[in-house]
Each structure stands twice: as structure tokens, then as C-alpha cells.
Structure 1
Amino acid sequence: MKGFIWDLITPTEDGQTRELQNHLGLSAPVPRGRKGKKVKTQTSSFDIQKAEWLRKYNPEQLLQDEGYKKHIKHHCNKVLLRVRMLYYLKQEVIGSECQKVFDGVDASDIDVSVPEPDHSEVPAEWWDFDADKSLLIGVFKHGYEKYNTIRADPALCFLE
């Protein structure tokens, strides 16, 4: 997880965002709780000694409020997992259709790669492929747990 986040936030020489390579995606388990199993980590191209931008924007200097630091430490794994999942939602599911999502194109006109369900129970009788597709697009567009906003989006299937 640490290697993934460092690679995600480290700017390239020309200041552009980088295309992440050699990350296992969501197939690599994320330890949960305090005693999660150690997972073999991936090597990162990030070298903390060479990070000029990190010295300029040192988190220890920027985050002076102890209450906020405690809050971040308490919730950081959940936030980092969400960042990682949003990255893979963009890369593996939404792909090149990203701009269409933000332009408000109807979900039925967006070609995304929706994974097949594992024979799970559907949350409602009416739930189908379009609902899965709309939920993935809605989470990418509006964020996690923004269910009312996702439900009210006219580009998704939930208003029907």
C-alpha cells in the first residue's frame, strides 16, 4: 500500500502524473486491523532521500493540529484503501471513458468493463447489469458513500 501511494503522489520530472506500473491491483490483500497478516511488499520507485517536493511540503510541518493527526492516524488505512480502489476503478473499469462520465453522458452510452458477479445475491429484485454499471460509475463520479447523490444523478439508472 505504501509503495502504491508513494508512486501515485510522486510527480514525474516534468510535473505530470505518472502511469503506475507493476502494482498488483486489488488482487493483493490489504491487511485489516492491528494484527493483519504481513504481505510481501512491492518495491517502489520512490526514494524518500531524493524527494525535494517532500522536504518542501513536509506533512509533519503542515499538520500541526494534534487532534487532526490523531484522526488521520485512526482512519488512514480506510482512506488509503479508498484511494487505491478509486485508482483501479478508473484504470480497470472506467478506462478511456473517464471524460464521458464527468460530461454527464448517460450510463447506458458509456462502455465500461463491469466485472461479472460471483453468483451473489442481488440487493433488490430489480437489480441488474445496468444497476451494477451505474453504481460503479456513480462511485467514481461522486465518491464513496454518496448514495443520495448517486441515486439523484439523471445519467445513472436509479431515478427510474
Structure 2
Amino acid sequence: MSTASKIAQKIEKAWSSIAPPSHEDMKYFTVGWGKGEQHLFLDVKPVDVDRQDERFLVADVLAEMSPVATAAYLGPYLMTFFEDLAFQEKEGFFSEPMVRGSVLALLARPRTWSDVLRPNLPRNCKEALGDAVNYIVKSQEMLELDLSQIGSLEKLARSIARDIAWEP
């Protein structure tokens, strides 16, 4: 049986192969809204992002990046999301509302899979993401998801599974 901690480990292992996005893929982020956070991301592998930095914990930057960068940096946000979910499973409350909201909002958006994640993630990351989304759906009561979020996440899980089944 998977636990939130094991999902975080799967994500870390999968995203460890992802290189930092190019400066070209980061240009709108570093020029615009993300100037204060660029030190966290620019030229930093996703698994090496300082997830304890207060700017990381409160910034909703995933929607401000290019699709390539969003796919890459979803990894550290997912790791933090699942570490916090493991904390909630143990202690009964969560501590990272901004990370939780950012991850759930991105995953529930209708075109996130087709436009951002599917074309920019390798198979191992898609598999880890599939496990993560299924765990989120399974934890819907603890996460207090509404019906719209549940429906979107179930659709995302099916899309990921279908993609993996067709991928060589």
C-alpha cells in the first residue's frame, strides 16, 4: 500500500533525471512575476530546489512559467505536497496551504495535462504523477476536495493511465 511519504519518494526519484529548464524556457518567469523567486529556480535542478525557502513555500509560480518549466518544477511542489500530506496523516492537520492550493489548482486545470505535462514529462515522471493523482483522489476527504476537483483529478488520472498504456 502506498503512503504519502512513498509517493513523495517516487516523485523525487522520477524527477531526479530532470535537468534545469533552459534560460529560454525561463525567460518570461525571470523577467516578469518571478523575479523574486528566480534564485530558487534558475539553473537549479528540480530536485535541488530549496523547498524550505519561504519564497518557495508561499509562491504560486507554476502558472507563471513556460510549459517546460512548469512540468520540471512541478516535481518539488509535488514532493512538498506529499510530505505535508504525510504530516497531516500522522498529526491530523496540514501546514502548507499555499503549496497545497498551487498543486491542486494546476492539476485540476482542464488543459494542464494536454498542454503542459504530457508533452514535457518523460514516462517515469508520468508514472509517478499518475500514482500521485490517484493518491490525491483516494485522499479526497482529508484534502476536502469538492466535486469539481475530484472530477478533474479523476479525468487527469485516466488521461495519464491512457498515455502510459500507449507509450512504448
TM-score strictly above 0.5: no
Say which structure, 1 or 2, has more relative contact order (CA 8 Å, 6+ apart): 2
Q: Which has the higher helix share?
A: 2
Q: TM-score, normalised by structure 1?
A: 0.25
Q: TM-score, normalised by structure 2?
A: 0.24
